[in-house]
Structure 1
Amino acid sequence: MKDKEVIIIGGGLAGLTSAIHLSKLGLEVTVIEKNNYPKHKVCGEYISNEVLPYLNWLDLNIANLKPTNITNLEFSTANGKTIKSVLPLGGFGISRFTLDEYLYKKAHENGCTILQDNVENIVFENNQFIVTTADKNILKSEIVIGAFGKRSNIDQKTNRDFIQKKSYWLAVKAHYSGNFPNDSVGLHNFKGGYCGVSKVEKDIINICYLADYETFKQFKNIDEYQKSVVSQNPHLKVIFEKSKLLFEKPLTISQISFEKKQTVENHILMIGDTAGLIHPLCGNGMAMAIHSAKIVSELVEKYYTNEIKSRKELEEKYIQEWNFNFKKRLKIGRLLANLLQKQKLSAALMRILIIFPFLLSKIIKNTHGTPITLNP
């Protein structure tokens, strides 16, 4: 009989969702998270409504957090040419500060053990993981789920391929007060990057953008870069001029990689951004993180009930499920991002979308999923 224990490394959106799912099924779950809660994170903070049936099944009442209801998309090129579309499924805006703490409390309520600690080493031998932490905790389990985010020291320690390649992307995020439609998300291109703007709870505007580091490093600070480069898009210029920064300073994260990642490495099952990062302009990273947590949790349950007979079968099924649900979306995201960085191609795309606006809805559908169905 297998010991029904799972170690999850990383207590962000994907890790906590998986912890809640597995603990709901009666498994013993330990989450190792280096940060305490609540904490702000660099994130677009928009979630597609495709995840709502699953969140309801997890007994998570997101409405209690008073998120914004988002139904419309406004997209613009660097020179300010704009096209608008209704989001086929719609979504909601919620800060990671609020959402992650809510998930943490739910996981704790479900009986999960949550260690505030850093993972120092992971060894796999004799079909078992031995995880050692900075505080000298030694944990053992047949299953380890990797949910340690976009870039981690664990990626370096496990020598993952993508970590060996230099990345030139930097992300910046901050909250603001000001006027912005509650029901809209803005995706605005600028030279060397693109920016997402939408409301979260408490009438707060979240502004999060991805920047080319080569361009960014030519300026002394974020404020100068925003005024000189980001605000060349007239929509972003107005937003920044009429909004007041609520953080002491914006949050940043560098070396963001959109290279392909392996879904399973060293027998660790990767979820969320740890398994693959979709370009923020697709606006679907949070929904993908939640969905990946569902997929891995259902398969781990089948492994522990012997419906899945071996680790090899578990890993193969997870890779297959990941590719079926996300491979196409990630590919389209990379294609769109590369296209938008080329001004002539970007302008040509905008002209086509203005003539054939239904194509924008098609692009949105191909970077978002359908409502998540629950297995009987």
Structure 2
Amino acid sequence: MKNRIYDVIIIGGGLAGLTCALHLSKQGIDVLLIEKDTFPDHKVCGEYISNEVLPYLNSLAIDPLAEGAISISKLKISNYNNKEIETTLPLGGFGMSRYYFDNLLFKKVKEKCKVVFKTVESISFQSEIFTVTTQDTTEYKAKYVVGAHGKRSNIDKKLNRKFSKQQSPWLAVKAHYDYEFPLDTVALHTFKGGYCGLSKTETGAVNACYLTTYTSFKKYKGIEDFQKNNLSKNPNLKQFFSEATPLFDSPLTIGQISFQPKNPVENHIFMIGDSAGLIHPLCGNGMAMAIHSAKLFSELFLKQHTTKKMNRSSLEKEYEKHWNNTFSNRLKTGRYIQKLLMNETTAGIGFSLLNTFPNMLNMIIRKTHGNPIQHA
């Protein structure tokens, strides 16, 4: 329908976009989801999800554990000086690949709303209506637009978002491996210039995903050399990369990962997931935050829509307030922890303190995670 005006267009079909589309469409909202890549597809991601979002997912008829997700209750941390800390996670979580998890959500979403696989070229807003134009020059119109396009996108540059003009020092590498690894554990192993997370996925494969700086990486000839001669200075990572069998033809990579503060609303577009703000992966809460942000927007939108008193300005203010109240302190804590961890001296002091006062680690974990969120 050429003249169709959707209630909401969601740009991006990651965890946040898919969850938002499912939540809204289940309540009768006319939603269009635009995603550039087809499903299923692997993505650079830690693939550990905090249990804080499990009740909410269940309320949307998504049950990761019934689909084979691995229940995780323990955390192991080590540094390249061979110091180790182990603890029980306050809430716990589950391991599931983005390949499976995103596709699980997508299959539910396509039953409820229209999905098109195209790349967005531009977004304009005039007379209270958005026009979203894709690269094939197709125009889609909606009363509201949600940005769920991920960590960094050309859309951010076209919207003139401040962080998109700045160079980022971070890159990430991810692959799956065949390796004997505890089912109930997520591990975080540091190395000079970064850290690597390990955890099991629903297939039994171990997901290894690490974040590092360009400065550290460019000293080596490539990924294999970097893993062999830098990551492997941590004994845990040395054992892993020497014994594990890669299951991908080659690792996945992503660059220019920005942890700079972002605005939850830009040019009247509601940002959710990594488009609104990205927590440092060492906190292990990025996937849960993406899902939670989708819930925040969906509930605020539906509250106004139900009363038939839609007010863009008040909705934008409410979403910004709720987003900041929910996530700002987590992001600040994540940035602070990363600074400490990336400095050899402060990291050493931190490990010594955590070994002496083990309860401090659970306090830190709680600062970067939320309580279980209520049903939709």
TM-score by length of 1: 0.97
Q: Counterparts of 1:289 and 1:329 in 2: how far apart (Å)? A: 13
Find the aligned partners of 1:172 and 1:301 in 2 and give their Cα distance: 38
Match of 1:13 in 2: 15
Assess if the C-alpha contact under 8 Å between 1:175 and 1:246 holds in 2: yes
Superposition map of 1:33-182 within 5 A: 33-110=35-112, 112-182=113-183
CA displacement at 1:239 relative to structure 2: 1.0
Per mean C-alpha deviation after superposition, the further-off stretch among 132-141 and 306-315 is 306-315
Looking at structure 2, the residues matched to 183 and 63 of structure 1 have their Cα atoms a distance apart, in angstroms, of 13
Q: Distance in 2 between matches of 1:309 and 1:205?
A: 46
Which amino acid letter does the alignment assign opposite residue 122 of structure 1? I
Paired with 2:80 and 2:28, the residues of 1 have a C-alpha distance of 51
Unaligned runs of 5+ in 1: none
Matched residue SS, 2:333 = helix
Report matched runs for 1:1-376 at 5 Å. 5-110=7-112, 112-306=113-307, 309-374=310-375
Q: How much has 1:308 moved relative to structure 2?
A: 5.4
Instruction: Give the Cα separation in 1 of the matches to 2:179 and 2:79.
Output: 23
Task: Confirm or deny: 8 A CA contact 1:177 1:244 kept in the other structure.
Answer: yes
**Deviation of the 1:302 alpha carbon:** 2.1
Aligned letter for 2:195?
A: Y
Q: Is the 8 A contact 1:4 1:304 kept in 2?
A: no
Q: Distance in 1 between matches of 2:62 and 2:352?
A: 42
| Amino acid paired to 1:278 | I
Specify the SS of the correspondent of 2:203: helix
CA RMSD, Structure 1 to Structure 2 (Å): 1.1
Is residue 179–residue 242 contact of structure 1 (8 Å, CA) maintained in 2?
no
Q: Which moved more, 1:252-261 or 1:211-220?
A: 211-220
Return the letter of the residue paired with 1:344. T
- What's the CA shift string for 1:243-291, capped at 9, x where partnerless? 0000000000000000000110000000000000000000000000000
AA in 2 matched with 1:351: S
In structure 2, what is the Cα distance between the partners aligned to 1:326 and 1:309? 25
Q: Which amino acid aligns with 2:178?
A: S
Q: In 2, are the aligned partners of 1:192 and 1:211 still within 8 Å (CA)?
A: yes
> How far apart in 2 are the matches of 1:271 and 1:330?
14
Distance 2:199 2:82 in 1: 18
User: Tell me, which stretches of 5 or more residues in structure 2 are unaligned?
Assistant: none
Give 1:136 deviation, angstroms. Answer: 2.1
Q: How many residues align?
A: 372
Separation in 1, partners of 2:161, 2:231: 33
Partners of 1:86 and 1:168 in 2: CA distance: 32
State the Cα deviation string for residues 217-246 of structure 1 (Å, max 9, x = none).
Answer: 121110000111111111111111110000
Paired residue secondary structure (2:40): coil
Q: Is the 8 A contact 1:180 1:205 kept in 2?
A: yes
Percent of residue pairs bearing the same amino acid type: 53
Q: Cα distance, 1:355 vs. partner?
A: 0.5
Deviation at 1:326, TM superposition (A): 0.5
TM-score, normalization by structure 2: 0.97
Could you tell me how far apart the structure 2 residues matched to 1:289 and 1:281 are?
16
